[in-house]
Structure 1
Amino acid sequence: MATQLHTYIDAWRRHDVGAVLTTLTDDCVVIESYGPVYRGRRRVEQWMYAWFAAGGRVDAWDITTIAAAGDFMMAEWSFACTWRGQAAGFEGSTIARLHGDHISYLREYATTAPLYDWTGTWSNQE
């Protein structure tokens, strides 16, 4: 189920640019959770090489839920990286669409604060 999404995420974990690119269509659109849009496989390649060269490192990207229906795939995950010496992490999700056997559209969403169980009263976090 959702093999292409597994392959895409696993390739990022391994820092394998070529393997990421093989999951994408030539005219793919990849949208990161904080705003950048990468149009086309060449732009994704440029972004990945620039990100790794600037000190980016994927430390973990663990899928917690994954599903597929027709040409659509979704995954929830936890992500950890190091960016220019600073460790960071968050939970998020991906929605992707296939064209044939390749990802043509991939959009990521990220949590903006730590998750917590609401107890019925308002706190300073809310």
Structure 2
Amino acid sequence: MDQLEAYIDGWRRHDSAAVLETLTDDCVVIECYGPVYRGKPRVEQWMDAWFGAGGTVDAWEITSRAAAGDVLVAEWHFECTWKGEPGAFDGATVARVDQGRIAYLREYATTAPLYDWTGVWT
């Protein structure tokens, strides 16, 4: 789980080098809203563009985690600011590790606030 925690921590600290250190050279990173970044150079380009445009990761807290073999899974709460607008959502990451680095990482996000269902559809 250390690799996934280090990846998230690098984003929190706005430290591209720390994030890149967690990834294999030929990694695949898939964001929850569709973009796919193939290889460390593309991830670096994405991070430079995102932070360069003023994007900030304001919080990214892991709420649960699990590991099985080379697969890591984490649920989390994410907060950021993009183009001056704060945003937040809950999500999850599924990652695969190869020789101590993340080779594949896919994020999923909730699309609406969570609520306890009462037995009636509203």
Task: Give TM class, smaller chain.
Answer: over 0.9
**Any idea what SS the aligned residue of 2:114 has?**
coil
What is the alpha-carbon distance in structure 2 between the residues aligned to residue 122 and residue 93 of structure 1? 26
Residue by residue over 1:45-101, the C-alpha shift from the partner in whole angstroms, topping out at 9 and shown as x without a partner, is 000000001110000000000111100000000000000100000000000000110
Cross-structure match for 1:85: 84
* RMSD, aligned α-carbons: 0.4
What is the alpha-carbon distance in structure 2 between the residues aligned to residue 100 and residue 81 of structure 1? 31
Cross-structure match for 1:98: 97
Cross-structure match for 1:113: 112
Q: Does 1:29 align with 2:45?
A: no
Identity %: 69
Number of equivalent positions: 122
Q: TM-score, normalised by structure 2?
A: 0.99
In structure 1, stretches of 5+ residues that fail to align are: none
**Any idea what SS the aligned residue of 2:80 has?**
strand
**Any idea what SS the aligned residue of 1:121 has?**
coil
In structure 2, stretches of 5+ residues that fail to align are: none
Structure 2 residue identity aligned to 1:96:
A
Cross-structure match for 2:71: 72
Q: TM-score, normalised by structure 1?
A: 0.96
Cross-structure match for 1:60: 59
What is the alpha-carbon distance in structure 2 between the residues aligned to residue 61 and residue 78 of structure 1? 6
Structure 2 residue identity aligned to 1:71:
D
